[in-house]
Amino acid sequence: MKDCSNMADGHFADLDNGCHSYYTCVGGAFVGHNFCPSSLVFNEDNKACDWPDNVSPPCGTHTGTMSP
């Protein structure tokens, strides 16, 4: 269980699980874990599971800008 007492409502990467899951906070309370499909990590920028190449560290490996 994560401590959401000082966090905004939303979804957050679970760094303890290598970002292969994320957790949800609502009203300062932890309301659950969700797991990404195999090989994907949680992208906090778009609030969805994504390929590691598209996600910035510490969850992914993307370091440059994306092409349109």
d(CA 20, CA 4): 19
d(CA 66, CA 30): 33
pLDDT of residue 65: 62
- pLDDT, tens digit, for every residue of 30-60? 999 999 999 999 999 999 999 999 999 999 9
pLDDT of residue 63: 82
Omega within 30 of 0 (cis) for the link into 57:
no
**Mean pLDDT across the chain:** 92
Domain ranges of the chain: 10-54
Q: Is the pLDDT of residue 17 over 90?
A: yes
pLDDT of residue 66: 52
Residues 6+ apart with CB under 8 A from 30: 1, 2, 3, 4, 23, 24
